[in-house]
Amino acid sequence: MPGTDREVTFRFLAQPTDVNFGGKVHGGMVMKWIDQAGYACAVGWSGKYCVTVAVCGIRFVHPILIGDLVSVHCQLIYTGNTSMHFSVDVGARNLATGAETLATHCVIVMVATDEAGKPTPVPPWEPQSEDDKALAAYARKLMELDRNIAGEIARYRDAAHLPQPA
């Protein structure tokens, strides 16, 4: 039911088809998993079709090896009017040793859209606990930083006479 489930976790094995030229999991594959988990969580929360609008603070901290058990944990941490912000942790477990590492973290922002592809309101999420309030503040801070980056990019492209994103 929309507005009830705020978390999704995918678990699967890193496959030989996920490999990059160095023999580890391709960064693009990790981004695809993040996008899929964000999509699943966003559609579940909003009950509507959703698109990705931004990915904030992504960093590949540790490589994921073929055969690792991958977990992609996605949790809603902030809602705006039409946007949903999800904290995503991608972990990798060596099944033989049980060693678990956090491979990647980011915040992905999804927007619910109507039949015309226009943003449409989502059920609000109200943080109650102190931890949840801190997560919502973290999402707002990242959004502000992202806007500053967008402003820098616009200034640079303007100075370099490059076309601006519409």
Ligand X SMILES: CC(C)(COP(=O)(O)OP(=O)(O)OC[C@H]1O[C@@H](n2cnc3c(N)ncnc32)[C@H](O)[C@@H]1OP(=O)(O)O)[C@@H](O)C(=O)NCCC(=O)NCCS
The CA-based dihedral angle spanning residues 66, 44, 31, 26, taken in that order and rounded to the nearest 10 degrees: 20
Q: In the complex with ligand X, which residue's Cβ is closer, 64 or 112? A: 112
Distance between CA atoms of 114 and 92, rounded to whole angstroms?
36
58 near ligand X, rule: CB under 6 A: no
Q: Among 108, 109, 135, 136, which residue interacts with ligand X (rule: CB under 6 A)?
A: 109
* 77 vs 20: CA distance, rounded Å: 32
Instruction: Return the number of the residue (9 or 120) whose C-beta is nearest ligand X.
Output: 120
Q: Pick from 113, 120, 127, 138 the residue near ligand X by CB under 6 A.
A: 113
Of 9, 36, 52, 120, which lies in the binding site for ligand X, with binding defined by CB under 6 A? 52
Q: Is the dihedral of CA 148, 8, 79, 119 positive or negative?
A: positive
Q: Name the site residues for ligand X (rule: CB under 6 A).
A: 51-54, 80-83, 109, 111, 113, 117, 119, 143, 146
